[in-house]
Amino acid sequence: MAGRGAGMGRGAGRGGGGWGGMGRGPSGECECPNCGHRIPHQRGVPCRQMTCPKCGTPMVRAV
């Protein structure tokens, strides 16, 4: 029975790194990648949908 022993198959790992496309939660800040301005994250609104009030650049989630 080839391929049935432990460690013989592929794809048995469970993954885990990164955010996997899921949101990072309701708290935190959004940051402008251009000028560095930060604003509080608004629950239910992805940072990338918000624009920087200083320069108009789309925001990113602050790490």
Residue 5 has pLDDT above 60, yes or no: no
> What pLDDT is attached to residue 58?
98
Express each pLDDT in 11-58 by its tens digit: 555 544 444 444 555 679 999 999 999 999 999 999 999 999 999 999
- Residue 49 domain flag: yes
**Minimal CA–CA distance to 60: which of 45, 42, 46, 44?**
46
- Tell me if 58 is assigned to some domain: yes
Note whether residue 18 is domain-resident.
Answer: no
For 43, the domain range is 26-63
- Specify the pLDDT at position 27: 76
Residue 7 pLDDT greater than 70, yes or no: no
According to the model, what pLDDT value does residue 21 have?
A: 44
CA angle 25, 27, 32 (to 5 degrees): 100
The number of domains in the chain is 1
Residue 55 lies in a domain: yes
Answer yes or no: is 54 within a domain.
Answer: yes
